[in-house]
Structures are given as C-alpha cells and as structure tokens.
Amino acid sequence: MANVTISIDDDVLKRAKKIAIDRDTSFNGLVREYIESLVAREQRRRELRIEELDRLLEESTAIVGPVTWTGDELHER
C-alpha cells in the first residue's frame, strides 16, 4: 500500500480527526474510505454510460453508408 502526503488546513484536519473518532476510525481510514468510495462511484458511472451507449446502439435504426474517405483525407488541413 502506498503512502501519500497531503497539505491540509490545521482547522480542517482537527475537525476531520474528530469525525474519524466519532466513526471509530482514524484520519487515514477516513481518507482511504472516501477515496475508495470515490473510485467505486466513478467506475459505476462509467459502466452505466457504457450500458446506455450499448442500449442506444442496439435500439438505433441509423443506416451508415460505405466509407468513402481515407484516414489521410480526414487529417488534411
């Protein structure tokens, strides 16, 4: 597990430590829990977006014609 150093206002740190005590954890535990929750929420948001795109693709009635251009033509200025 990696160690991380952060700078935080003394008053904010003091209040966060009180919250940690109320939750029967440490300040590190509080930060770890928040970061893990943040990462899990973001992963779930990405999964939901992919599911929605898949659903839209399945329901789409769009018809795409043949590709009549080259990659070089797309990148011409």
- Report the distance separating Cα 9 and Cα 51, nearest Å: 41
Task: Supply 61's token pair.
Answer: 């009635």
pLDDT digits (tens, 9 = 90+) for 34-46: 999 999 999 999 9
- Full-prediction pTM beyond 0.75? no
pLDDT digits (tens, 9 = 90+) for 20-36: 999 999 999 999 999 99
DSSP line for 11-42: HHHHHHHHHHHHTTS-HHHHHHHHHHHHHHHH
- CA quadruple 11, 12, 14, 18: dihedral sign: positive
